[in-house]
Amino acid sequence: MFRRSGVSEQRAALLAPLSALLLLAPRAGARPMDPDLSHLVVDPSCTSSVGATCVADRAGYTKLVSQLGFALAPSSVHPARTNGLAGFDVSLLASLTRIDAAADYWRRGTEGESSAGAAAGNADPASLLQLYAVELRKGFGFGIEAAASLGVMPETSLLAWGADVRVALLEGLHHGAFRYLPDTSVGASLRHGTGLGELSLSTLALDARLSHPFAFSSGFIVTPWLGYQWVRISADSELVDLTPGVNALRECGYVGTNSPGSAGTPETQGAVPASAAPVGTLDGAPLCTGSGADFASSAAFGDVTVIRHRAVLGASYRQELLNVGAQLVTDLLSPDDAQSDEDVARALRCDSSGQGCRAAPRQWSLTLQLGASF
């Protein structure tokens, strides 16, 4: 009977956070805070100017993925000490991350309530991004612990999944001079976000933590910790149509393709390739009787890597199976000062992007944990 009871408790502990996560899972269709790179252009008036070519706002793109990546980055709530060989945790994590919602790149770079028309964008971006995740954590002895997580971000279509591994360097050393030293661990974590349309986003984090448990006679343990986290945010985009409201074929007066069997026929007389290929060069480009400028209004924002240095401060309360924790993560350096790539640093500083530009500010994330430890 005791064994059956224990199994039932573990099943209940697993099903409860999974059920909560399913309730928060994003529904089909675009959400207000989903990235919308098609309107992230240097001059928004290009979308309504005949013959104008839109240019991708790469500085705005860099700041957008930097802040979104900060919210996606690992924020697991745990001290330096592991669960031990027989230890197993299941937790529900709720994170809030501050973003610069008043910045133009959030207004133009997210879906908002409607994405129709040239004035598309987000008139009222959320100032806090939420992330809810289920995390499973297992100890393997010798100070080694691994974890896996699955999460959703409300108001977006993002589904986040990842894995952690860490090593407690002083696990089991509680005699002599070692008993005066705090628990110490180092770890690595990966998070990947899917469901963001043309945007691919992932993060890698390396961290180190110091903690010390305080046991009380009433049977509960409080453990505060302090740590440092190095985060690498990697983003890439597919080819994006920067004028989604314009039909490029209709604008150019499409009559065929610049290929054998089409070029030189009576139907294509007077038409020129949209690619401006030299006469006699058959490159498969559309043949136009009008302006083919809109074909140049498609661009890939490219890949960008942003580094963040973050301080970690947290505490947990544990009594029997119950495990409750809270953790604050914040930038140690301003985002531009953390970069080794000068182009990325310049984009985050906004040195040359014109009037109305906002430099990327420091951010913070607050994560709350409710779980069970076995």
Structure tokens at 268: 């294509």
Contact by Cβ (8 Å): 203, 304: no
pTM: 0.83
* Residue 228 shares a structural domain with residue 283: no
| pLDDT level of residue 257 (50, 70, 90 thresholds) | confident
40 in helix, strand or coil?
coil
Q: Give residue 1's pLDDT.
A: 40
As a whole number of angstroms, the distance between CA 75 and CA 69 comes to: 12
Q: Give residue 163's pLDDT.
A: 97
Structure tokens at 329: 């993560």
pLDDT digits (tens, 9 = 90+) for 161-173: 999 999 999 876 6
Contact by Cβ (8 Å): 85, 145: no
Query: Residue 82: inside a domain, yes or no?
Result: yes
Output the CA torsion sign for 136, 140, 143, 144. Answer: negative
* Residue 268 shares a structural domain with residue 335: no
Q: Give residue 190's pLDDT.
A: 97
As a whole number of angstroms, the distance between CA 372 and CA 131 comes to: 20
Mean pLDDT rounded to a whole number for the chain: 85
Query: Residue 303: inside a domain, yes or no?
Result: no
* Residue 189 shares a structural domain with residue 321: yes
78 in helix, strand or coil?
coil
Residue 196 DSSP code = -
Contact by Cβ (8 Å): 58, 127: no
* Residue 211 shares a structural domain with residue 160: yes
| pLDDT level of residue 12 (50, 70, 90 thresholds) | low
Length of the chain: 374
Q: Give residue 203's pLDDT.
A: 98
According to DSSP, the β-strands at 239-241 and 298-300 are antiparallel
pLDDT digits (tens, 9 = 90+) for 300-356: 888 999 999 999 999 999 998 999 999 999 999 999 999 999 999 999 998 655 566
Query: Residue-wise over 320-357: b if at least 16 C-beta within 10 A, else e?
Result: eeebebebebebeebbbebbeeeebbbbbbbeebeeeb
333 in helix, strand or coil?
coil
22 in helix, strand or coil?
helix
Taking 50 as the threshold, does the pLDDT of residue 153 lie above it?
yes
Which has more confidence, 242 or 192?
192
Q: Give residue 176's pLDDT.
A: 66
| pLDDT level of residue 240 (50, 70, 90 thresholds) | confident
Q: Give residue 241's pLDDT.
A: 80
pLDDT digits (tens, 9 = 90+) for 288-298: 877 777 777 77
Residue in the structure block whose two tokens are 């009222």: 124
pLDDT digits (tens, 9 = 90+) for 351-367: 655 566 788 999 999 99
Q: Give residue 141's pLDDT.
A: 83
Structure tokens at 250: 């209709």
* Residue 43 shares a structural domain with residue 191: yes
Work out the average pLDDT over 133-155.
94
Q: How far is CA 334 from the centre of its chain?
A: 18
Give the H or E element holding residue 68.
Answer: helix 58-72
Taking 50 as the threshold, does the pLDDT of residue 87 lie above it?
yes
Q: Give residue 191's pLDDT.
A: 97
Residue 313: count other Cβ atoms within 10 Å of its Cβ. Answer: 13
Q: Give residue 369's pLDDT.
A: 97
As a whole number of angstroms, the distance between CA 71 and CA 351 comes to: 25
pLDDT digits (tens, 9 = 90+) for 23-53: 555 554 567 899 989 888 888 877 666 566 7
Residue 104 DSSP code = H
Taking 80 as the threshold, does the pLDDT of residue 156 lie above it?
yes
* Residue 152 shares a structural domain with residue 283: no
144 in helix, strand or coil?
strand
Query: Residue 300: inside a domain, yes or no?
Result: no
Query: Residue 302: inside a domain, yes or no?
Result: no
Q: Give the end-to-end CA distance of the chain in Å, rounded to a whole number.
A: 18
| pLDDT level of residue 114 (50, 70, 90 thresholds) | low
Residue 76: count other Cβ atoms within 10 Å of its Cβ. Answer: 24
* Residue 263 shares a structural domain with residue 338: no
Q: Give residue 106's pLDDT.
A: 93
**Number of domains forming the structure of the chain:** 2
Query: Residue 230: inside a domain, yes or no?
Result: yes
Q: What is the CATH number of the domain that holds 357?
A: 2.40.128
Residue 175 DSSP code = S
Percent of the chain with pLDDT over 90: 52
Work out the average pLDDT over 101-121.
76
Q: Give residue 260's pLDDT.
A: 81
Query: Residue 243: inside a domain, yes or no?
Result: no
Residue range(s) defining the domain that contains residue 118: 2-237+309-373
Structure tokens at 43: 């001059």
* Residue 365 shares a structural domain with residue 268: no
Residue in the structure block whose two tokens are 């502990």: 13
Structure tokens at 219: 């049977």
Query: Residue 301: inside a domain, yes or no?
Result: no
* Residue 278 shares a structural domain with residue 151: no
Amino acid symbol at 34 = D
| pLDDT level of residue 199 (50, 70, 90 thresholds) | very high
* Residue 171 shares a structural domain with residue 204: yes
As a whole number of angstroms, the distance between CA 72 and CA 355 comes to: 30
Contact by Cβ (8 Å): 140, 88: no
* Residue 184 shares a structural domain with residue 287: no
Work out the average pLDDT over 237-256.
79
According to DSSP, the β-strands at 286-288 and 304-319 are unpaired
Please give the backbone phi and psi of residue 125, each rounded to the nearest 5 degrees, phi first: -65, 145
At how many degrees (to 10) do helices 58-72 and 342-349 cross? 90
Percent of the chain with pLDDT over 70: 83
* Residue 264 shares a structural domain with residue 341: no
Work out the average pLDDT over 250-270.
76
Query: Residue 37: inside a domain, yes or no?
Result: yes
